[in-house]
Amino acid sequence: MVSPDEPVAESPRRRAAHLGPERRRPMILDAALEVFSERGYAGTTMQSVADAAGVTKPVVYDSFANRDELLLALLAREEQHLVTSIVAALPADPAVGTPEEHVLEGLTAFLRSVAKSPQSWRIVFGAQYGAAPVVSNRVRAARAFLVEGLRLTLLKSLPGVTDPDANLPVLAEMLASMTESCARMLVVDGTDRTPEELARTVSRIVAGGFGGV
Structure confidence by residue, pLDDT tens digits, 147-164: 888 888 888 887 778 888
Reported pTM: 0.69
- Asked if pLDDT for residue 15 goes beyond 70, the answer is no
Distance CA 137, CA 142 (A): 9
Distance CA 46, CA 213 (A): 46
Chain mean position to CA 95: 29
Residues 187, 122: contact at Cβ < 8 Å? yes
Distance CA 89, CA 38 (A): 27
Residue among 84, 75, 88, 89 at smallest CA distance from 121: 75
Distance CA 47, CA 60 (A): 8
- Asked if pLDDT for residue 213 goes beyond 60, the answer is no
Residue among 105, 63, 100, 69 at smallest CA distance from 88: 105
pLDDT band at 5 (very low <50, low <70, confident <90, very high): low
- Asked if pLDDT for residue 27 goes beyond 90, the answer is yes
pLDDT at 18 (0 to 100): 53
User: Lowest-pLDDT range, 28-42, 62-76, 128-142?
Assistant: 128-142
pLDDT band at 144 (very low <50, low <70, confident <90, very high): confident
